Amino acid sequence: MKKHQSLVEPSPVNAERKLQGLQNASNSEELEVKRSDFSSDFVFGVCTAAAQIEGSAKEAGKGPSVWDHHIEKYPERIQDGSNLTSIDSYKRYKEDVKALKDLGVDSYRFSISWTRILPKGTLSGGVNQEGIDHYNSLIDELLKNGITPYVTILHFDPPQALTDKYGGVLNRSFVDDFKDYSELCFKTYGDRVKNWITINEPYIMAKNGYDLGVAPPARCSVRARFPCTVGNSATEPYIVSHNLLLAHATVVKLYKDKFQAQQGGQIGISLVGPYYEPYSGSAEDKAAVKRIMDFELGWYMEPLVYGDYPKSMRDFVKDRLPTFTQEEKKLLEGSFDFIGINYYTTRYVKNQPASTAKAVAYRFDSLTLSNLTERSIFVITHPEGLQKLLEFMKENYQNPKIIITENGITEAKNDKRELDVALKDPHRIQSILRHLYRIKMAIKNGVNVKGYFHYTLNDDFEWGKALFQDSGFTMSTTKTISNAFLKTLRSGSLSS
């Protein structure tokens, strides 16, 4: 089997073609979305993450994050050999704000780099005033231009110092340090920031860093793409997710008890939200869909809504899955004002007979096989899957307030593409319109969706994939606005 080839048979190419066919079968109504189709309090914005755009990784007092360390330790694992410069938004943030204003968005989701304000990860290690001042300046610049900040406290880049000190997210001490860092953010920026996201995609942190070993801290015991020298793919992803859930709930309680009444904000978490369809009509494949949804989305939503992990996870993982105390269950249950959903794709899934299961690892525990391939996971867009996912959330998780905190397409960088084609970007615009149409239909069906953020403002450092993936509204090398799509958000047809 080729590296990263899908486990699904027939071939993953056929599965992708099936989804691509569904995508292409859209109707013209999907392209006629209007601002008036959404309520006046529905938020439109774009998003970024500090580690993907800021650069200046060794400047202005910043300490190393796990990603800074990973890039230096494993440069061969970054497909284009990218370094820590990224697109230099730390120094060019005013240009970013101007681009946001030109686009016409009303909100901007960005993340704070933990090690830019706490270089060693802890209060006792010292506060970096230059970092504090930078985010004050960014927030003030946004507000001056009529743009509402949505701030992510942790977006994949915890301090390397905490990994060196006690194992990072694997250790429960992480919960206390994350609480201290979050409290500093609330105290410093909460007078102006009214929308907080505790953690972005804990699932990705747990799976990629501790099961597959393809992201920091590169731990695994069952090899995926790269070999690991340490780790346990059977237990560590579950421990990491457990600690991230408790860190989230602890910070939400802190915010609600100490800051929310005075500051008047809201707080939530962003979860990765792929949707799955059964590869066949068999009862086994339909059951596989339920299991994989439990093992991905339900891994977090069940504790957040009901206080404990899905029963299927306990049945399959048994004592490798950590347990919550009664006090922790109470802490977790309802620990959000909104749920952020990052949706990019829908995949096919089929049942994997237990007799053919691989070595013990999180990735095999659900006994499912999907059509994920080595191609970018964002290539196959399927807007209808977003509507189905949102309606699934309504039916299974008490219809929470939802904000689409990421959605978009990522393509390989193509410098040979003609400039006028790149600037018009019709494929991206149509994709956004079709997803907005599906959000509109989900709202019509009673789902409580209150916002949409496109990923991303800029072409950026797409983690291990490469430095510049085509994913943003602006072109990284020239800071040119790629299209005027979002200018129409406040009036008229979005496709005009």
Domains and CATH numbers, the chain: 12-488 (3.20.20.80)
Backbone φ and ψ for 115, nearest 5 degrees, come out as -80, -5
Task: Calculate the average pLDDT of the chain.
Answer: 86
- pLDDT greater than 60 at residue 424: no
The least confident of 5-14, 104-113, 175-184, 436-445 is 5-14
Residue 208 Cα distances to 229, 236, 303, angstroms: 15, 11, 21
The answer to whether 104 and 486 have CB atoms below 8 angstroms apart is: yes
406 belongs to the catalytic site: yes
Residue 369 Cα distances to 39, 107, 213, angstroms: 39, 38, 19
What integer is the mean pLDDT of 323-342? 99
Q: Which residue has the higher pLDDT, 370 or 1?
A: 370
How much is the pLDDT for 461?
A: 56
Q: What percent of the chain has pLDDT over 90?
A: 68
141 belongs to the catalytic site: no
Q: How many helices (H) and strands (E) does the chain have?
A: 19, 13
**What is the DSSP code (8-state) at residue 368?**
E
The least confident of 18-27, 50-59, 332-341, 375-384 is 18-27
- pLDDT greater than 80 at residue 319: yes
The least confident of 96-105, 136-145, 418-427 is 418-427
User: One of 54, 141, 201, 328 is an active-site residue; which one?
Assistant: 201
Of 473, 453, 470, 452, whose CA–CA distance to 461 is shortest?
470
User: One of 30, 302, 406, 462 is an active-site residue; which one?
Assistant: 406
* pTM of the model as a whole: 0.90
d(C-alpha 336, C-alpha 342), whole Å: 16
**What is the DSSP code (8-state) at residue 65?**
B
d(C-alpha 347, C-alpha 294), whole Å: 15
Which pLDDT tens digit goes with each residue over 449-494?
A: 999 999 977 755 555 554 444 444 444 333 333 443 454 455 555 5
- The set of residues, in sequence order, having a beta carbon less than 8 Å from that of 80 and lying 6+ positions away, is 466, 467, 468
Backbone φ and ψ for 398, nearest 5 degrees, come out as 60, 30
What integer is the mean pLDDT of 365-375? 74
What integer is the mean pLDDT of 275-304? 97
- pLDDT greater than 90 at residue 141: yes
Q: What is the DSSP string of 29-44?
A: GGG--BGGGS-TT-EE
How much is the pLDDT for 87?
A: 79
Task: Kindly indicate the confidence band of residue 75, based on its pLDDT and cuts at 50, 70 and 90.
Answer: confident
How much is the pLDDT for 372?
A: 55
What integer is the mean pLDDT of 155-165? 98
- The set of residues, in sequence order, having a beta carbon less than 8 Å from that of 443 and lying 6+ positions away, is 38, 449
* Residue 283: burial class (beta carbons within 10 Å; 0-12, 13-18, 19+): exposed
